[in-house]
Chains A and B, each alone.
Chain A
């Protein structure tokens, strides 16, 4: 059973960038899409983008286009999400989540990381 373990909490200044990692263990990594989903305090779930590591090309939600970069390192079974030009509204828990279908960009998210709290504050 695949497990996803994310990097720790971050506190960032407005205008800076943050890079969150998501390391997979216990199963196949390269052929299953990893998505990033965020949740602002007390709010719902918002998909930011995703990547199928074996293909290496990411898809992004239009809202985040130009500000987010999702990458994957097959050698370490780790996916990354970098968000730039941070503002206070980016304060949220950021989750990585694995798609259930092999080679499918999206689908059901059957495995989730534990979440990484990113706080943007001056």
Chain B
């Protein structure tokens, strides 16, 4: 199985800050990488697909980049409603696998 390593595992930032999360794959996955947001008690929500494409209806402060093994997820200006856990997910190979998550908190 392809291992997905996210960092950091937790992050504290202030409203308005630029926030960056990284995700590294254990092998080349091209751009088959998605990002999700999960709020407590809720199902995950797709934010970014194919590494850099913004899902319909998702605010433009969210963005993604990368290819191969190294990927980045960015929130350009953190808002209070962005408090959540974020996961990357690869789908280059079965089984699709997720990173361990990054818990984002407000400072």
Contacts and interface: CB of A to CB of B under 8 A. Distances in A.
Interface stretch (B19-27, B42-50, B76-84): B42-50
A31 to B, nearest CB: 18
Looking at chain B's contact residues, the main secondary structure is: loop
A108 B43 contact: no
Contact of A109 (B46, B97, B101): B46
A110 B55 contact: yes
A59 B94 CA distance: 9
Nearest to B100: A44
A44 B98 contact: yes
Interface of A: 35, 44-47, 59, 61-62, 95, 97, 100, 105-110, 112-115
17 contacts: A44-B98, A45-B36, A45-B98, A45-B101, A46-B98, A59-B94, A62-B95, A95-B44, A97-B44, A100-B46, A108-B34, A108-B46, A108-B89, A110-B46, A110-B55, A112-B44, A115-B43
